[in-house]
Amino acid sequence: MIGENYIELLRENILFQDLEEEKYPEFLAAFQEEVWPKNTCNITKTPTLYKFYIIAQGRVKIYRVDPESAREFTLFLLSKNDVFDILCLLENCEHRVFYETLDEATLLSVPIKTMREWIVKFPQINKSLLPYMGRQIRILEEYTSNVVLADISSRLAKLILTHINKKSKKLELINDLSHDELANLIGSTRAVVNRHLQQFKKDGILKISRKKVEIKNLELLLKQAEKNHFPG
């Protein structure tokens, strides 16, 4: 059982919001707190076939690896109040992906069996799952769309643009990632991403330092995102 301090997290969570106040103790009783160290792939230790997770703190990437080339690419970059794994929750079969923490992460876990019972018991959770999955479909459609139709510099620009906080005007979620991780997010490789980052730097679009990217010229960045540089 987890502490009262997590009630607020559940209240904000897309799946557990809009539930009557008196239900929360039941949830709290079933959750366990887990701390996963940085850069650990916990797929074997804690299979998602048995547990369902809510992220309380830190980032977790869901990714695939091509066994032949050992190339990796990130499907989802999850952070606070994201949950996984929805597909394992719905169907009792394996979801052929890996999970890895990008920071030390704090997770709330609940037996997947319990989560399934809750879905039946609380129709509101069932209902909330739909828009959450809808958003994932949108993200994937956009992802595929970009990989097919846009070149790397355009995808890189878009990646940066979609992670600008509207208020602070600064990068968030991806601001401290290595070029390797940035490449995984757009389906490319470190060397190629670096090549384009250098070009962006030359063009006065970005300021680049170790594990840090700052935007210098938003307008030019927008242009890069729109423009495809395919030959022809």
Partner DNA sequence: GATTAAGTGCTACTTACGTAGTATTAATTT
Partner DNA sequence: AAATTAATACTACGTAAGTAGCACTTAATC
Residues that bind DNA (CB under 7 A): 69, 71, 151-153, 178-180, 187-192, 194-198, 208, 210-211, 229-232
Answer for the pair 92, 141: CB distance below 8 angstroms, yes or no: no
Pairing, β 60-65 against β 72-78:
antiparallel
User: What is the DSSP code string of 3-43?
Assistant: -GGGHHHHHHSTTTTT--GGGHHHHHHH-EEEEEPTT---T
Q: Which two three-digit tokens encode residue 165?
A: 């906080």
> Measured from the CB of residue 228, what is the shortest distance to DNA in angstroms?
8
Residue 125 or residue 171: which is nearer to a second copy going by CB?
125
The Cα 82–Cα 101 span in angstroms is 13
Nearest-5° Cα angle at 75, 16 to 187: 155
162-191 binders of a second copy (CB under 8 A): 187
From 75, 159, 192, 215, residue interacting with a second copy (rule: CB under 8 A): 75
Residue 11's binding partner among DNA, a second copy, none (Cβ under 5 to 8 angstroms by kind) is none
Task: Tally Cβ neighbours within 10 Å of residue 125.
Answer: 19
Q: Is 141 in the site for a second copy (CB under 8 A)?
A: yes
The minimum distance between CB 195 and DNA, in angstroms, equals 6
Under rule CB under 8 A, residue 57 binds a second copy? no
What's the CA gap between 179 and 191, in Å, rounded? Answer: 8
Q: Which position among 134, 172, 180, 214 is part of the footprint of a second copy (CB under 8 A)?
A: 134
- In the complex, which residues of this chain contact a second copy (CB under 8 A)? 64, 66, 68-69, 71, 73, 75, 86-87, 90-91, 97, 123, 126-127, 129-131, 133-134, 136-138, 140-141, 143-145, 147-150, 187, 227-228, 230, 232
